[in-house]
Chains A and B, each alone.
Chain A
Amino acid sequence: MDIMLILCIAFAIVFVLLAPFVGAIISGIDRKVTAKMQGRVGPKILQPIYDVLKLLGKESATVNPAQDFFVLLYLIFVVIAGIIFFSGLDFLLCVLIITLASLFLIIAAYSSRSPFAELGAQREILQVMCYEPMILIMAVGLFMANGAFNIYDLFNAQLPIIVYLPLIFIGFIFVLTIKVRKSPFDISMSHHAHQELVRGVTTEISGRSLAYIEISHWYETVLFLGWVAMFFIFCNPLVSAILCVASVIVVYFLEILIDNNFARVKWQSMLKYSWIVALLFGGVNILVLMVL
């Protein structure tokens, strides 16, 4: 028990300290690969870090002090959700806390009362509504395959849960595109050039707060890729490590590929497709698990 506790705490600390760097580098690689796909040279790998450092050095000005406060809460709760996940605790709790975090982002956008940010916030709410069923079904699937919501129990499993949850995995990859804000589902805010919403939820968030948003995105990226890796963990540490890394690379490359090959969809389509996917892939997978 004590060794478990120490391990948990160690993982949590490693996550808090390393995740931003890993996330930044993933984000840098993302931009580089995207540039290559578009026949460009692209920025340096460390570009996201330069951006954030610059933002941290900017003057402190805001439309609304409450907004900056909520952005800070967003960052804090993303980190808490990550700690819960990477210390091997309850997956469902992690999902619930990350939803709380996105609620703070939504409130931050609303509180600025800018028309662009507010519209972005409403689209963000819609995005949560789109991915929530699939993510909850994923949690249910985890519970059924693993016998508990705890992540550390996966290390005792004979087989990785992907064997039991192949359809749920596909459905999750589908909504992951919404969660990591990739085209075609980047309707509330985009990493790319300006859109009809200016910058959606982050329109009024500037300077230091914008840097916090970027850092939260790094944490989030690592967390969500951790969710991907979760599907490949089992009792053999070496094989599962290889599988996890490979799956994370493949999945993230797939996301970049999707990002560059699809135009942004209307929100109606996003709602329709994500719910159909949740119902079909999630529902069928759970049904099969129950029958077995």
Chain B
Amino acid sequence: MLDLTALYSISFLIFFPIVVALILLFVKNDKARKYIVGPASAIIIAAALFLSITFLPSTNAQNFYVTIDKSIAELINYICLFIDILLVAYIVFRCIKSKKFFVLILAILQLILVVWFELFVAPSIEVEFNLYIDTLSIIMALIIAIIGCGICVYALGYMHDFAAHSTCKDRSSTFFAIMFAFLGAMFAIVFSNNLSWMFCAWEITTVCSFALIGYTRTQEAVNNSFKALLYNIIGGMCFAIALVWSAYAFGVLELDSFVVTVASLSTEASYLSYIPLMLLAIAGFTKAAQFPFQNWLLGAMVAPTPTSALLHSSTMVKAGVFLLIKLSPCFGFNLSGYFVMLIGGVTFVFAAFCAISQSNSKRVLAYSTVSNLGLIVACCGVGTSAAIWAAIFLLVFHAAAKSLLFLCVGTAEHHIGSRDIEDMDLLFDRMPMLSRFMSIGILGMFIAPFGMLVSKWAALVSFVQTEDIIIIILLVFGSAATFMFWAKLLGKMMASANNFNETLEKSIHNSEWVALCLMVFLTVGLCIAFPLISSGAVVPYVSNIFNEGSDFIGAGMHWFLALLSFVIALIFLAYTPKTKNKKIQPVYMSGIGINSQERSFINSLSGETKATQRNWYMDNIFPEKKTSLAGIIVSIALIFSLGFFAIITTSQVVEDYRVLAVASSAYHENDWKSLEIDQATFVSSYILVNQKYEESPESFDSTYGSSDVNSYFSDTYNKYAQSQTSTASNQTSDTTTTNDSSATNSTSQNPTSNEGGE
């Protein structure tokens, strides 16, 4: 019963937004659109809530898998392939139109790989569970549904104004259609266990973001959209290669069994997982806009604000970190873990440094997104229970606060005509409520006791526990820079001249207010409900994965912080300055001030002068171009050096395995004649097996069917010597290679099955 409910609710969440998208595509009327978007959003949110309430109790105990009829699953496989082809066709069309041939070549290469894989490799691998529900996917689904739909509702009013402000053609219907399709794809990502389905959804989000960024069709927008496409196709390419690799090396195409398989590999065998893990990580990096791929997200600022809000908070970038969080049990103290951790750490610091010099508020938000995602990624790389706890909370709080901030900036931009921080001076007077909402968002991003900082604290604890000095140093300096850029933005907004007469807020659309209030409610509510979310969902999820609790801050402390954040939020929202009982003075201007609001004074020549005051941007210390270039160089160097190292170790291990596999299968089959095995191979296998024995004598028995290494080898040697004398080998070399892969499988996955040969 529950099984069917799961199937239906997941498919509803995936397909309903897409159906809505198709309808919206043909609705050109603003009013009619309002009546579709609103109810549709409500339905999606309701469905997500239903799903979470129904399944949260069971997923806290264990993941909930959904079985799908084989024939239907196969049909969906073909649909996925068809969608992949369709997407590439669209990309090719747009590439030719805009003469971007590099992207075109990459897209076609990727398509060839995927088609080959889907048609010739994938069918041979059995996928038991195509869909699943676990606590993390429920959390993600709620984020996507509530925040994503909130943004869609916000867009109703925003796009109305946008069409009036901008010169480009009004294609609002396409815009809304893509927004909803995006949500559908995101749901598909978080519920797919079948990696090739996930890949298909992954590509849909790429193309949707491409279309959204290029919405205005100006030259800048088109260029930036292709930049986004290029980076994400590189990521998609890595994803596809990792898919092929895991299918070949581990014979799995399911996300959860991939994670389980890889995480349970023995030390040497895990070397084989480095390359697919790193490739998947790179796919995650591109989506999550980590250095060196951060540029596409900054370029995405040309799009209308709801796009940015959607990309930054609930969709696109969160898909990247979602994948990394899913993979995090495989990371930790190994090469791929360090790789992810270092890229995340470097991103955290360099993006925060870049944000200091920005006066464009949207760019500040963008860099802060990149920076915070860097922290999440670093947590994934650390891969301990505490780190994952922190990563999930960072993800949740970031989604709420960042969407709130984007929506506020978007509204402010339409009313004050600028997104520059300097122009937001006196916003406290001009748009009192909006500036309070925005300050809640900012406080939520960087200051205790709000959730974001508590999670950062947990991240620090987990980094200290892993005793990795580089990441600690990166975190502390990055935090300092984070304080710098947020505090000055907040300060500028809170400036007030006690003049509340010229409020600009009257013309804000109701739909915008609804969305803004929803986001404020979420930002504050999540901080208050933080202890509940922790004990009710995140701790069970983390302990499911790691088999250990992670209560390192203490429940009492959680409640204390929750209470404190509630009080502070209340203060910011409800406080109204009372001037009744106090004498109001003009500010001190070192002489005769004329007007505090204008900051004008009489100068020494009896003329009027205006004092101007800009925030510090410290361009000469943290110049954006040089800082981001440095970050890109460092991260590329990391990718290539660690990637190279991974390739070297992998090839070494592959060779070792070939030798071992050959010897071991010969031993178990007792068929030395049919195998080509020379003296050198035999000797190196001897050395390797001996090493294994020394590492763990107790598990030796189960793997090699002999309790003592010496008897194993005397036995082996006798058989080998017999075979050498009796016959000369005449086998072809391709027998060896096929044995290689199958033997690797058997040793890594199912070591006990070898005993049958004894």
Q: Do A and B come from one complex?
A: yes
New A-B pairs, 10, CB < 8 Å, besides A129-B483, A132-B483? A63-B596, A64-B498, A65-B498, A66-B577, A100-B449, A107-B490, A119-B613, A143-B464, A203-B588, A282-B473
Q: Are B583 and A107 in contact (CB under 8 A)?
A: no
B426 partner residues in chain A, CB cutoff 8 A: 113
Determine if B164 is an interface residue (Cβ-Cβ < 8 Å): no
CB of A113 within 8 A of CB of B596, answer yes
252-278 of chain A: CB within 8 A of chain B:
268, 271, 275, 278
Contact A96 B488, CB 8 Å, known A114-B588, A271-B621, A278-B476 = no
State which of B480, B497, B581 has its C-beta within 8 Å of the C-beta of A113.
Answer: B497
A144 close to chain B: CB less than 8 A = yes
In contact, A275 and B477 (Cβ under 8 angstroms): yes
Q: How far is the CA of A236 from the CA of B476 in the complex (A)?
A: 33
Chain B nearest Cβ from A144, distance in angstroms: 7
Q: Name the residue of chain B whose CB is nearest to the CB of A65.
A: B577
Separation of A117 and B599 alpha carbons in the complex (Å) = 13
A110 CB–B CB distance under 8 Å: yes
Q: Which of A68, A118, A271 makes the CB contact (< 8 A) with B495?
A: A118
| Chain B contacts with A in 476-511, Cβ cutoff 8 A | 476-477, 479-481, 483-484, 487-488, 490-492, 494-498
Does A22 count as interface, using CB distance less than 8 angstroms? no
Q: What CA separation (Å) do A133 and B428 show in the bound complex?
A: 31
CB distance from A183 to the nearest CB of B (A): 21
B457 at the interface (CB under 8 A from A): yes
**Complex: chain A residue closest to B356, CB-CB:** A129
Does A60 sit at the interface, judged by CB under 8 A?
Answer: yes
A65 touches B582 (CB 8 A): yes
Q: Of A68, A106, A144, which contacts B487 at CB under 8 A?
A: A106
A100 with B448: in contact, given A62-B582, A110-B492, A133-B476 (CB under 8 Å)?
yes
Q: Is B575 among interface residues, defined by CB-CB distance under 8 A?
A: yes
CA distance A129 to B622 in the complex (A): 13
Inter-chain contact B584/A62, CB cutoff 8 Å: yes
Given contacts A103-B447, A137-B476, contact A66 B582 (CB under 8 A): no
The reply to whether A115 and B621 form a contact with Cβ atoms under 8 Å apart is no
Chain B contacts with A in 422-478, Cβ cutoff 8 A = 425-426, 428, 447-449, 453, 457, 460-461, 464, 467, 469, 472-473, 475-477
B616: CB under 8 A from chain A? yes
Contacts of B621 in A (CB 8 A): 268, 271
Tell me the complex Cα distance, A111–B498, Å: 10
A129 touching B481 in the complex, CB below 8 Å, given contacts A60-B581, A66-B494, A290-B469: yes
B463: nearest chain-A partner, CB-CB: A140
Closest to B448 in A: A96
CB distance from A260 to the nearest CB of B (A): 28
Determine the chain B residues whose CB is within 8 A of the CB of A282 once the complex forms: 473, 476
Query: Which residues of B lie under 8 Å from residue A111 when comparing CB positions?
Result: 428, 491, 494-496
Tell me if A99 counts as interface (CB < 8 A to partner B): yes
User: Is A221 an interface position by the 8 A CB rule?
Assistant: no
Instruction: Judge whether A99 and B483 touch: CB under 8 Å.
Output: yes
* Residues on A with beta carbons closer than 8 Å to the beta carbon of B581: 60
- Contact check, B461 vs A61: say whether CB atoms are below 8 A apart: no
Which of B460, B495, B578, B587 makes the CB contact (< 8 A) with A136? B460
- Are A61 and B587 interface neighbours, CB within 8 A? no
B487 and A113 form a contact (CB under 8 A): no
Contact A100 B447 (CB under 8 A): yes
Identity of the chain A residue whose Cβ is nearest the Cβ of B498 in the assembled complex? A64
**Residues 184-195 of chain A, each 1 if its beta carbon lies under 8 Å from chain B, else 0:** 000000000000
Contact (Cβ within 8 A) B491 A107: yes
Contacting residue for A107 out of B494, B579, B615, CB 8 A? B494
Given contacts A96-B453, A106-B487, A122-B615, contact A62 B448 (CB under 8 A): no
User: In the complex, A143 Cα to B386 Cα: how many Å?
Assistant: 15
Chain B residues, CB < 8 A from A203: 588
Interface string of B545-564 (1 = CB under 8 A from A): 00000000000010000000
- Residue A93 lies at the interface, judged by CB distance under 8 Å to chain B: yes
The residue of chain B having its C-beta at the shortest distance from the C-beta of A68 within the complex is B582
CA–CA, A106 and B486, complex, Å: 12
A84 to B586, CA, bound (A): 38
A215 vs B449: C-alpha distance when bound (angstroms): 23
How many Å lie between the Cα of A65 and that of B494 in the bound state?
12
4 nearest interchain CB pairs? A110-B491, A96-B448, A61-B583, A65-B577
- Give the distance in Å from the alpha carbon of A100 to the alpha carbon of B316 in the complex: 32
Measured in the bound complex, the distance between the Cα atoms of B496 and A106 in whole Å is 14
Q: Which residues 46-103 of A sit at the B interface, judged by CB distance below 8 A?
A: 59-66, 68-69, 73, 90, 92-93, 96-97, 99-100, 103
A109 and chain B: residue at smallest CB distance? B491
Q: Find B448's partner among A93, A109, A112, A125 (CB 8 Å cutoff).
A: A93
CA distance A143 to B467 in the complex (A): 11
Assembly CA distance A286 to B453 (angstroms): 23
**What is the CA–CA distance of A193 and B557 in the complex, to the nearest angstrom?**
43
Checking B457, B472, B498, B571 against A286 with a beta-carbon cut-off of 8 angstroms, the contacting residue is B472
Q: When chains A and B are docked, how far (Å) is the Cα of A52 from the Cα of B457?
A: 37
In the bound complex, residues from chain A placing their C-beta under 8 Å from that of B2 are none
Complex Cα gap A132–B460 (Å):
14
Provide the bound-state CA to CA distance between A122 and B618, in Å: 11
Flag if B613 contacts A115 (CB, 8 Å): yes
- Could you tell me if B473 and A283 are in contact, using CB atoms closer than 8 angstroms? yes
Q: How far is the CA of A269 from the CA of B653 in the complex (A)?
A: 51
Contact, CB under 8 Å: A279 / B473 = yes
- Asked whether B492 lies within 8 Å of A136 as measured between CB atoms, the reply is no
Binary CB contact string for chain A from 115 to 152 against chain B (1 if under 8 A, 0 otherwise): 11111011001101110110011011001100001000
Are B575 and A69 in contact, CB atoms less than 8 angstroms apart? yes
Q: Contacts A92-B457, A283-B469: A60 and B583 contacting too (C-beta < 8 A)?
A: yes
Within the assembled complex, what's the spacing in Å between the Cα atoms of A113 and B469?
Answer: 41
Q: Closest chain B residue to A124 by CB distance?
A: B487
Tell me, in angstroms, the Cα distance from A126 to B596 when the chains sit together: 26
**B590: nearest residue on chain A (CB-CB)?**
A198
The answer to whether A65 and B447 touch across the interface, beta carbons within 8 angstroms, is: no
Please indicate the chain A residues that have their CB under 8 angstroms from the CB of B476 in the complex.
132-133, 136-137, 140, 278, 282
Closest to B454 in A: A96
Instruction: Enumerate 29 A-B pairs (CB-CB under 8 Å) in ascending A order.
Output: A59-B583, A61-B583, A63-B498, A64-B498, A69-B577, A90-B557, A92-B460, A103-B487, A106-B487, A107-B490, A107-B494, A110-B492, A110-B494, A111-B428, A113-B497, A113-B587, A113-B596, A115-B599, A115-B611, A122-B616, A129-B484, A133-B476, A133-B479, A136-B460, A136-B475, A140-B460, A140-B464, A144-B464, A283-B473
Residues of B within 8 A of A122 (CB): 488, 491, 615-616
Min C-beta distance of A290 to chain B, whole Å: 5
A290 CB contacts on chain B under 8 angstroms: 467, 469
Verify if A246 is at the interface (C-beta below 8 Å from B): no
Contact A64 B461 (CB under 8 A): no
CB distance from B581 to the nearest CB of A (A): 7
With A64-B498, A93-B448, A110-B491 in contact, do A115 and B582 touch (Cβ < 8 Å)?
no
B589 within 8 A of A: yes
Contacts of B481 in A (CB 8 A): 129
What residues on A are CB-neighbors of B484 within 8 Å?
125-126, 128-129
- How far is the CB of A74 from the nearest CB of chain B, in Å? 13
Cβ–Cβ contact A118 & B487, under 8 A = no
CB proximity to A under 8 Å, residues B707-741: none
A204 touches B587 (CB 8 A): yes
> Considering the chains assembled together, what is the distance between the CA atoms of A287 and B575 in angstroms?
47
